[in-house]
Chains A and B, each alone.
Chain A
């Protein structure tokens, strides 16, 4: 996969030092006794027509990051710019025009569609709410969206339970496309689907990207899927980005020990290939009390004394390749 012109003047999405800390409350008075640092200062940018994959294991904060970018969860601090405009701190009313620019596709194709609404209304509702189209016009637009994502227009009258998982995910994609957004956050959009359906949905997303110059923030724990769709990949560990580079670099020359371990865990469909597995010891530490210094030092095979004290910054070690590790 090649990196498209990153020379685009203004990135579609520019995130700087985004943090989301959830307070942990205890006792009768609900005093705050600590914070879950779900997202602890991440920065990245997505250009037009570009896909950035956000990977990491469960609980590393990638889903929270995706929600915070859309302000479905209020960020604790940091900056989010959409087409160069800051959206953190905007009121609900001021947010509305930006809602049209960015949409989301969810992981679970079952709970992401209202079971009491017909598919056509699910996809068409954003159109009426934003005053884009009503009545016949809306019907025609929704029908076109249905056809585009590979459903039949006649299925607009059906309820979600009458569709299969893959079809439901297509409805979710049609809904996200309805307002003509620039950016779509995909929160594990294919993880709940069968492998054969995964490929279809990934290809649909790629086709749509080509047609409409969409930008994707693609959140997944599945590196094989991310490799297939992403131009660049950000690897997250305990709320921080530990490595950020284009897809080829991540897969061929990973620099962070955590990225190495993640990649060595990807199954390769060829029994002849013998690989050195790098199995990490222990579990992910609690994000309430993350380790001092480099969050990864408790599990890192190369950890040194200063890793426990000093948090490594995300440094650019070669053009476009950033790593947060003292040893590289």
Chain B
């Protein structure tokens, strides 16, 4: 397992690596797109966390007289059919997206790591069985897999998270398993065995931490697809139900009926989804370049 010495590489490139900010400034200059992505992601997270202070109206209050009100005036981004403020709903929608993206990533990675580590480290029939299940799951695209899960679990925020998490599992399990296969033959693992450590302790303390670099890359890359999958599920009516303001459902509710009469109902949630996914993808690419210089394109 090659470990990449960031400090040495940064120093070679002439960076001031003495402090956190020195490094951050250097990385931002070297990966301007990544920095832009990080900015978008930070904006997204801040919006989600401070939604009650950012939104100027209650996202759930309906107002018949403001139905389909255009942008400007009291409603910055307009109002939907029920007269709910679009700006506030988009701000609150960030919470749903963040909850799903973070929840699904954490849950999916936890399950994937457990399966990959157990299969790769122990081998044998367990590895064979889990890998064939992963094969079957990987044969379906992420969205189709999530659709199957969501349809059988029923629509709710929790179930959406679970559905997307399960769809993420095969990729994670694959990555962990392949690193584990090479790591378990390393002399430092043999040394741990010679010292009398239990296999569980060896797997968790010595093997697992060394599989993390590619996982961080994968996690950032998957954030965007998790957000997109949630939006797609909600768009198809299998995601987060009313009254939660999900960007995907806001699109689907309005797309058919109001796209001509009130285009802001489609445009603004669309922009929110695009910017967030774009941001996480840019960040993901930069993270991959930093952690895994071999795959740089």
* Residues of A in contact with B (beta carbons under 8 Å apart): 67, 70, 72, 95-96, 99-100, 102-104, 106-108, 111-117, 122, 125-126, 129-130, 161, 172, 175, 178-179
Contacts and interface: CB of A to CB of B under 8 A. Distances in A.
A72 B196 contact: no
A130 B187 CA distance: 20
Given A104-B190, A108-B187, A115 B195 contact: no
Interface string B163-189: 000000000000000000000001110
A103 B206 contact: no
B129 interface: no
B196 A129 contact: yes
A326 B280 CA distance: 74
A125 B197 contact: yes
Contacts of A178: 195
A111 B195 contact: no
B193 interface: yes
27 contacts: A67-B190, A72-B190, A72-B194, A95-B196, A99-B195, A100-B196, A102-B194, A104-B191, A106-B190, A108-B187, A112-B191, A113-B188, A114-B192, A114-B206, A114-B209, A115-B3, A115-B210, A116-B209, A117-B205, A117-B206, A117-B209, A126-B195, A126-B196, A129-B201, A130-B195, A161-B5, A172-B191
B1 interface: yes
B185 to A, nearest CB: 9
Contacts of A95: 196
A294 B5 CA distance: 51
Given A114-B210, A115-B3, A115-B210, A129 B195 contact: yes
B198 to A, nearest CB: 8
A10 B55 CA distance: 82
A107 B186 CA distance: 12
Given A129-B201, A161-B3, A161-B5, A112 B187 contact: yes
Contact of B188 (A67, A114, A161): A114
A96 B196 CA distance: 6
Contacts of B3: 115, 161
